[in-house]
Amino acid sequence: MTIAIGSDHNGVTLKEALLQGVLKGLNVRDFGVFSSESVDYPDVAFAVARAVASGEYERGILICGTGIGMAIAANKVKGIRAAPCSDVYSAKMSRRDNDANILCLGGRVVGPGLAAEIVAVWLNEPFAGGRHARRLEKIRTQEESCHDE
């Protein structure tokens, strides 16, 4: 599986911990940032979201202070289903029911141990399909009516 990861300044420490831990040895591209200098999270969110939406990467992980700004921004990119998760159950269900292709984490919300558990579950849980596919199709239809990129 190919994974694109990115963070703002509030997520850079957790990003590094994940890269050195649960993501070590996996096929991951780090889209930055690489320091704690303040940046605008939408810039990183859009870079990772476009890389996933284009099919270049299968999954994305975005980290800011809460995970919320990254999710709001990433979900503006057509084809993206970004889920902010602070617990293992939500992460699992975001895959099973919602086929989330980007996981958003809060560097100020979850510690590195919990974040690693969330990531491990999220990467391994398959989409259930069936009635959930029908529901995602409705979201896709709505998306088509409001995007022109």
Closest separation between CB of residue 86 and ligand RB5, Å? 12
How would you classify the pairing of strands 2-7 and 59-64? parallel
Nearer to ligand RB5, 6 or 69 (CB): 69
Joined together, the tokens standing for residue 129 give 């399909």
SS3 61: strand
Q: How far is the CB of 137 from ligand RB5 (least distance, A)?
A: 29
Q: Among all residues, whose Cβ is closest to ligand RB5?
A: 69
Compute the least distance from the CB of residue 23 to ligand RB5, in Å.
20
Is 85 among the residues known to form the active site? no
Residues that bind ligand RB5 (CB under 6 A): 8, 10, 41, 64-66, 68-69
Phi/psi region, residue 79 (left: phi>0; alpha: psi -120 to 50; beta: rest), is left
CB 74 within 8 A of CB 34: no
